[in-house]
Amino acid sequence: MSKKQQTLSSFFGVSPPTKKRQLEPESEKRFFLEKWLKDVPWLEANDERTEMWCKICRSNPHLADKTGAFYKGSKNFNHPLFDKHEKSKEHTNVVQAIANKHASQEEMSSRPLARWRDKLNEEQRQALFNIFLLAFHKAKHARPMSSYSEDIQLLKRLGVNVGGAYHSREGGTRIMQSIAHAISGDLRAKLQSAEFWGLLFDGSEDITKTEQEIVYIVSVSSNGEFTSDFIGLIELGADRTTQAITDRLVRLFQDTGLDDWTTKLVAVCTDGAAVNVGMYNGIVPKLR
Ligand SMILES: [Zn+2]
């Protein structure tokens, strides 16, 4: 009983209306309404309907605000603050985190490689770039791949970021193959779109003195520029007959995706060796 009530009751000589005051809120007291479960998608309540909570926040305890009423369990059925919780930073953070997780899982399963590439951080990207550069250098200058893993160790000691993978000779070879695949894909697309092209080949020797034919294709781009592209080497084995060399040239065209070579090949340039241009038995008459 407050001091004011005491004063008033002593003035009127009646007891203060304590009973009535106690009854009033009792009659206003509200209980859990079943329709809330339909209206509020994240709401959950116990079977006795004496407590309710946010099932999204509760199922993500590492993200949720554990001190919030809808995490601990609310008993405030008079004025349930559904809106306030739904708009709270704590709740929206949890909802957003779940959405992000779903989106990334979906994309992971649909584009695993691209996703993996995108997920690389800057440091990993730089490491890949460095080892690709080393493998490309080996290929371009015809260095033996056995020196690849030695060079990786040297670069590491010099403080170059080479990451932790593809350090073996086999790793280097795999990188080289993927570079070659990408380059030959570009070349294939370019030569397939050319209307005509010419063939350029000549004998050469590699560092082990193996004799080979080095083969280029000269093509004209749509803007009139001439380019020559190396398409491959033909190692000359025991069979050096014009037929054998011609067959291998044709196979090289086909391997490069130039199945239409018979209609697009318009010129051949080579030295005057009889094996090449001999009127009846040279490679040029055979290609015709
Ligand atoms: Zn919540």
Q: Give the distance (Å) from ligand 1 centre to CA of residue 97.
A: 12
Contacts of 193 (CB under 8 A, 6+ apart): 222
Q: Give the distance (Å) from ligand 1 centre to CA of residue 119.
A: 29
pLDDT the model gives residue 84: 92
Show the domain range for 155: 120-185
Same domain, 178 and 198: no
Q: In total, how many domains does the chain have?
A: 3
Q: What CATH number should be reported for the domain holding residue 199?
A: 3.30.420
In a domain, 106, yes or no: no
pLDDT the model gives residue 260: 84
pTM above 0.75, yes or no: no
Q: Are 262 and 238 in contact (CB under 8 A)?
A: no
Q: Are 133 and 177 in contact (CB under 8 A)?
A: no
pLDDT mean over 278-284: 65
Q: Give the distance (Å) from ligand 1 centre to CA of residue 172.
A: 51
pLDDT the model gives residue 20: 47
Query: Per-residue pLDDT for 46 more than 50?
Result: yes
Lowest mean pLDDT among 104-108, 114-118, 233-237, 280-284: 114-118
Phi (first) and psi of residue 60, to 5 degrees: -130, 65
Q: Give the distance (Å) from ligand 1 centre to CA of residue 42.
A: 7
Lowest mean pLDDT among 23-27, 98-102, 191-195: 23-27
Question: What is the per-residue DSSP string for 256-278?
Answer: TT-TTHHHHEEEEE----HHHH-
Q: Give the distance (Å) from ligand 1 centre to CA of residue 30.
A: 23
Q: Give the distance (Å) from ligand 1 centre to CA of residue 27.
A: 30
Report the alpha-carbon distance of residue 77 to residue 72 in Å, rounded: 15
Report the alpha-carbon distance of residue 288 to residue 284 in Å, rounded: 6
Residue 91 CB neighbours (<10 A): 22
Out of 52, 75, 93, pick the residue that ends a domain.
93
Out of 164, 185, 206, pick the residue that ends a domain.
185
Same domain, 282 and 211: yes
How many residues are listed for the chain in this entry?
288
- Report pLDDT digits (tens) over 127-156: 888 999 998 888 888 788 788 999 999 999
Q: Give the distance (Å) from ligand 1 centre to CA of residue 53.
A: 8
Query: Per-residue pLDDT for 18 more than 90?
Result: no
pLDDT mean over 76-98: 90
∠ CA(56), CA(57), CA(62), 5° rounding? Answer: 125
